[in-house]
Amino acid sequence: MRLTVEDVHLGYNGRIAVDGVSFAVEPGEMVAIVGPNGSGKSTLLRGMSRLQKPSTGRVLLNGTDIREMSARQVARNLAILTQSPDAGSDLTVRELVFRGRYPHQGILQRVTRADIEAVEWAMHAADTAQFASRPLGSLSGGERQRAWIALALAQQPRVLLLDEPTSFLDISHQVEVMHLLRRLNHQGMTVVAVHHDLVLAARFSDRVIAMRAGRIEFDGPPLKVFEPAGLERVFGVPMMILTDPETGLPIPLPRPDPLLCPVAHTEPAEASRTGRLSGG
C-alpha cells in the first residue's frame, strides 16, 4: 500500500508546525523520521493518519485521499501509535488490544474467531501475553508501551505509523520491538516510525527522513544521508559517524567535548599487564 504525502501543511491555531512536506512511502518500506524536539515529527505523523487535518495538501493511501475515506476504512489499512496514548487505567491489556478489532467488526460488533486469533497473535508478538489480564494502570511504562503496540498490531494494518515506539523501553525491549517491527516489515507491512535514537534508526530503517523546523532536511538510506554536516544542520550539535564493524552501517554520535568528556587513559600497570606497554 503506497502512502503519499503531498505538500502537507499542518499547524496549531495558525502556527505552522509542518510546512509543506512531500514524500511517498512505497509498499514494504521501513522508514524512520528523525529530528530535534519541536521539528514537527509527531504532527506530521498525525497528519499522515486521520488524527490531524492538513490545512493544505493531501495524504493518499493507494491514490485515494484519506479525507475521502471513512475513519473505519482508513483504520483497516493504517494504524497509528501516538506518543502518549490514553485509555482508562482499569482496562486490561486484552480489553485494550480488542479495541484494535473495531475497524474489522460488523455493525453488531460480534467477536469472531478471526478477532480472537488476531488479538492473541498481537499480544504474543508484542510480548504482552503474560500480563494480558492485568489493568493498564498496574503496568510499568515499558509493559504499557508494548500493550499499545499490541493494540496497533491487532488492527492488522498494512501501514503502521509509530511515534517513538521504543521510548520507556530498556535496551533489550528496544531491540525486541525493533526486531518485531522488522519482522512484520519483512512480512510485507510498511512501517514509518519517529525515532530519537539515531543508532536504532540507522540499523533498522531502509530510509531516514530528517525534519527541521517543519521541513524535510534530508531523505534517503542511512548509509547515504547520515553524514556529520547534515546531522549537524538538523540537530545543531557537532556530530561524528562511526561504522558498525558487523553491518557496515553508520553509527551517528555527538562529538565529545574535550573539556567535558574524560579521555580513556590506559594506566601503566594495566597497560603492562595487557602487554600494551613495552619497557618502563
List contacts with ligand ADP (CB under 6 A).
12, 17, 35, 37-43
CB distance 21 to 51 below 8 Å: no
The least CB distance from residue 48 to ligand ADP, in Å, is 12
Residue 82 identity = T
Q: How many CA atoms lie within 13 A of 18 on its CB side?
A: 27
The least CB distance from residue 17 to ligand ADP, in Å, is 3
Residue keyed to cell 460488533: 109
Q: 147 vs 210, which CB is nearer to ligand ADP?
A: 210
Q: 44 vs 136, which CB is nearer to ligand ADP?
A: 44
Residue closest to 26 by CA, chosen among 3, 60, 58, 8 = 3
CB distance 119 to 94 below 8 Å: yes
Q: What is the per-residue DSSP string for 64-112? A: EEGGGS-HHHHHHHEEEE-SS----TTSBHHHHHHGGGGGGS-TT----
Q: 97 vs 201, which CB is nearer to ligand ADP?
A: 201
The least CB distance from residue 28 to ligand ADP, in Å, is 25
Q: 41 vs 207, which CB is nearer to ligand ADP?
A: 41
CA dihedral 153, 154, 160, 163 (to 10 degrees): -70
C-alpha cell at 38: 519541536
C-alpha cell at 216: 524535510
| DSSP, res 154 | H
The least CB distance from residue 42 to ligand ADP, in Å, is 3
CB distance 133 to 93 below 8 Å: yes
The least CB distance from residue 25 to ligand ADP, in Å, is 18
Q: 15 vs 265, which CB is nearer to ligand ADP?
A: 15
Q: 41 vs 101, which CB is nearer to ligand ADP?
A: 41
The least CB distance from residue 197 to ligand ADP, in Å, is 14
